[in-house]
Structure 1
Amino acid sequence: MQSRRKLRFRLVLSFALFGFGLSVLFAVASLYVRAKVEDQLVVSSLQQDADSYAQQMHESPGQPFYSKLMTGWGWSDRTIYKAPLAWQNLSSGVHDVYETDADGHLRHYKLAVSRRFGLIAFVRYDVSRDDLGKRQLFTALITVVLLLSMLSLAIGLWLSRKVLKPVTQLAQRIRDFRKAGKAEPLAQHFADDEVGELAHVLDEYAARLTAMVERDREFNSDVSHELRTPLAVISSTTELLQDSPDLTDKLRERLKRIERASRQATELIEALLLLSRAERRGPTRGETTEVAKVAADVIESQRPQVRGKPLEIELAALEPVSVNAPASVLSVALTNLIGNAIKYTLEGTVRVEVGGGRIEVIDTGPGIKPEDAERLFQRGVRGEGAGGSGAGLGLAIVRRLCELYGWDVSMRPRTDANGAIASIVFG
């Protein structure tokens, strides 16, 4: 979230960068044009004066050269040794030279040289003042760039506040609705523009979402009533039948299986309703649920799966562990984990250990691949191996229940032998 820039910040930054870039471009163009024009004028003037002075020395020797801006000298090929040493070998054209004046200051000159008629004419122009003008212009342009950039930033801030004000108001109204727990129409509070269109779309989405939530609430209520009632009838009927004195042991065992299945179905319905409502509910009257007791009940309910297998189920309660959750929720989670261990283990043991704030189901089955450990909790993914039938929903339900209560469920292969370890760490 922190890496994503706010829309207002992007607008302000874009406007400021645009103003800064435009100002810099203007400043660079101004400097370039001034330097180009000035250089052309100075070079052209100097060269013309140098050529004119050479022509004057040829036609009227001894006549002095006059210029308000420039100073000229002339020598012949024989007297060129009188010229400054740095000038003597310069070719015709305009050169940049740097010399120290009488006050000891370094000055910049443009020196035009013309070699004609056996004569060498020099015309020097002091450009130090022009350099100062360039520096002053550069300073002025930098100031203008900064001022324009600040102005662009200020305008960007003002425009962003102006443009995004309706969006901010829309977000604030949505936050108010969330606090109040009731959505009201949004479009009527905004103009008929893009933000108004967005508010209208949000109104339509809220209406559809409200209708869907209402249908889901009604469905949950219907399921809770229509499924629990027949299950309660089945449970009470099996209890009454078990009290009959003329029941055979085989029939009594079947009635117990029916009673356990009815109880598991009731617990599963309660857990699924909690998931559908995203409702985290603790035990009644602030009681806690003993993990070892629920695990023992689940093991007993799963023993019919062990018939015909050389398989033993062990429960090791190393230390007491209690959770603030209904027994039905924990029972559904453990039924899936322990039931899977029994289903996939053809022989050996399934050991359930309780302690250290966790419960672990350790089996001696075919095991799992490390890369498949997390994938098994995805909806519709089934395990490989013996008894791999089913819709692949059990572990997905376990993961959702654990996330609802802040528990950490995981599976991993055993390192000491074949098999897998499923564990729930209670937060």
Structure 2
Amino acid sequence: MRSRRKLRFRLIVTFTLFGFGLSALFASAAINIRTRVEEQLINSALQDEVDSLNQKVRNNQPVSFEILKGATFSDRTIYKAPLPWQNLDTGVHDIFDVGADGKPRHYKVAVRRQGGIINFLEFDVSRDELGKRQLLTSVIAAVFLFALLSLVLGVWLSSRVLRPVTDLARRLRDFRRVGKAEALAPHFADDEVGELAVALDEYATRLTAVVERDREFNSDVSHELRTPLAVIASTTELLQGSPDLTDKLRERLKRIERASRQATELIEALLLLSRAERRGPTRGEVTDVAKVASDVIESQRPQMGGKPIDIELVSDGSVAVNAPASVLSVALTNLIGNAIKYTMEGKVTVRVLEGRIDVIDTGPGIKPEDAEKLFQRGIRGESATGGGAGLGLAIVRRLCDLYGWDVSLRPRPDMAGAISTIDFR
């Protein structure tokens, strides 16, 4: 909605500024042309009159002219002329002084000096300046009037131009609310908006096909993978009840059972993530963080592979989250598994605090600038060895984002190692 208003506002402002600028340009050109033409006409008329006066005086002809004031002096009587006139050369001059009424006065004086005779003609341009001011006032009023008309026209045109876009946005919102996509193109003309509607229809068709394939894939995975995992779990449970099992075989069966349970939890978490990213996260199940952390630690002990590592769970209080246990288990399995994997010796501490859980290791650590990159898909740490596609932390980030948790990774400030944290607040 804000983008549409912004576009409409830009159309209105553009049209208004265009109308204002065009009106101002024409007004400026009209005033400039009038001033130039008037100046040339007045100067030419004054020069012709003073030349005519000079000729009549020299020929002792009667002096007659229509200009308001005129005077003739000789070199000996020039001192009788007004002071501003006495040193003027032949030509037309602008004089600015104060009139008898004390107000500023502007007039033009045409001068002709020839053979010791000096002729003056005075032309008062006050009325001309009054006309200029009236013209300027009229032009300014016309500019603002045209700008106002441009504004009104811009508002009207923008609403008409954007009406198909508004209709398209409304239909898209209706589709989202109803949850059923209908063809958009039949409702619009064969223009740019119609092309956009056709493109949206094609995109909706492809998107619907992708969603259907995703739904079918989730259904297939849910059925095809859960069934063999359930068979493995039940068979392992039956085998563990056999009285003739050796301790070594019993330990291997426990590892198979833990791996089967982890695979089941991972599948459930991924399926839940796939569904929840479309519909929203699943709520209603309260999970004890410390209990899940304890189960994950026990399931990860076989990954130590004989390394001199001590795994410790420290709980400073009871922390519960509103999320399925499988989601939290997958997240903690990745974080604790990474801590065990990269720690060659020392200690891995899982600390449950108020509103968060920390996994602290004594491994090689990470660079501060690489901490955020490790949550990207396909990115692995510099000290990573063996197999792995770099997807574990990316899955953790997606699960945490889904449930509003904050997951972070940073180096230990006091010694080598890293600290991974899930903040549930």
Q: Would the TM-score normalized by the shorter structure come out above 0.5?
A: yes
2:118 pairs with 1:113: no
Superimposed CA distance per residue, residues 142-197 of structure 1 (whole angstroms, 9 cap, x where no aligned partner)? 11111111111111111122222122111111111110011111122222222222
Q: How does 1:21-420 map to 2 (within 5 A)?
A: 21-60=21-60, 63-64=62-63, 66-277=64-275, 278=277, 279-282=279-282, 286-385=284-383, 387=385, 389-420=387-418
Please report how far the alpha carbon of residue 208 of structure 1 lies from its aligned counterpart in structure 2 after TM superposition: 1.4
Please report how far the alpha carbon of residue 55 of structure 1 lies from its aligned counterpart in structure 2 after TM superposition: 2.3
- Name the CA distance, whole Å, in 2 between partners of 1:194 and 1:35: 48
- Name the CA distance, whole Å, in 2 between partners of 1:226 and 1:391: 24
The runs of 5 or more residues in structure 1 that have no matched partner are none
User: Which stretch shows the higher mean deviation, 222-231 or 377-386?
Assistant: 377-386
Superimposed CA distance per residue, residues 289-308 of structure 1 (whole angstroms, 9 cap, x where no aligned partner)? 11111111111111112232
The one-letter amino acid of 1:189's match is H
Please report how far the alpha carbon of residue 377 of structure 1 lies from its aligned counterpart in structure 2 after TM superposition: 0.4
- Name the CA distance, whole Å, in 2 between partners of 1:319 and 1:353: 10
Residue pair 1:350, 1:361 contacting (<8 A) in 2 also: yes
Residue pair 1:281, 1:326 contacting (<8 A) in 2 also: no
Please report how far the alpha carbon of residue 49 of structure 1 lies from its aligned counterpart in structure 2 after TM superposition: 1.5
Residue pair 1:274, 1:280 contacting (<8 A) in 2 also: no
- Name the CA distance, whole Å, in 2 between partners of 1:213 and 1:58: 107
Output the TM-score relative to the length of structure 2. Answer: 0.96
Please report how far the alpha carbon of residue 201 of structure 1 lies from its aligned counterpart in structure 2 after TM superposition: 1.9
- Name the CA distance, whole Å, in 2 between partners of 1:422 and 1:3: 40
- Name the CA distance, whole Å, in 2 between partners of 1:333 and 1:395: 8
The runs of 5 or more residues in structure 2 that have no matched partner are none
- Name the CA distance, whole Å, in 1 between partners of 2:285 and 2:140: 74
Change (3 A) 1:168 1:282: closer
Please report how far the alpha carbon of residue 281 of structure 1 lies from its aligned counterpart in structure 2 after TM superposition: 4.2
The one-letter amino acid of 1:95's match is H
Change (3 A) 1:69 1:5: farther
2:40 pairs with 1:10: no
Q: Secondary structure at the match of 2:85?
A: coil
- Name the CA distance, whole Å, in 2 between partners of 1:307 and 1:165: 68
Change (3 A) 1:73 1:3: farther
User: Which stretch shows the higher mean deviation, 269-278 or 130-139?
Assistant: 269-278
Change (3 A) 1:7 1:394: same
Please report how far the alpha carbon of residue 386 of structure 1 lies from its aligned counterpart in structure 2 after TM superposition: 5.2
Output the TM-score relative to the length of structure 1. Answer: 0.95
Please report how far the alpha carbon of residue 392 of structure 1 lies from its aligned counterpart in structure 2 after TM superposition: 0.4
Residue pair 1:373, 1:411 contacting (<8 A) in 2 also: yes
The one-letter amino acid of 1:124's match is E
- Name the CA distance, whole Å, in 2 between partners of 1:230 and 1:39: 103
The one-letter amino acid of 1:9's match is F
Q: Secondary structure at the match of 1:6?
A: helix
Superimposed CA distance per residue, residues 201-236 of structure 1 (whole angstroms, 9 cap, x where no aligned partner)? 211211111111111101111111110111011111
RMSD value over aligned CA atoms? 1.7
Superimposed CA distance per residue, residues 282-325 of structure 1 (whole angstroms, 9 cap, x where no aligned partner)? 46xx4411111111111111111223211111111012111101
- Name the CA distance, whole Å, in 2 between partners of 1:69 and 1:98: 19
- Name the CA distance, whole Å, in 2 between partners of 1:24 and 1:119: 48
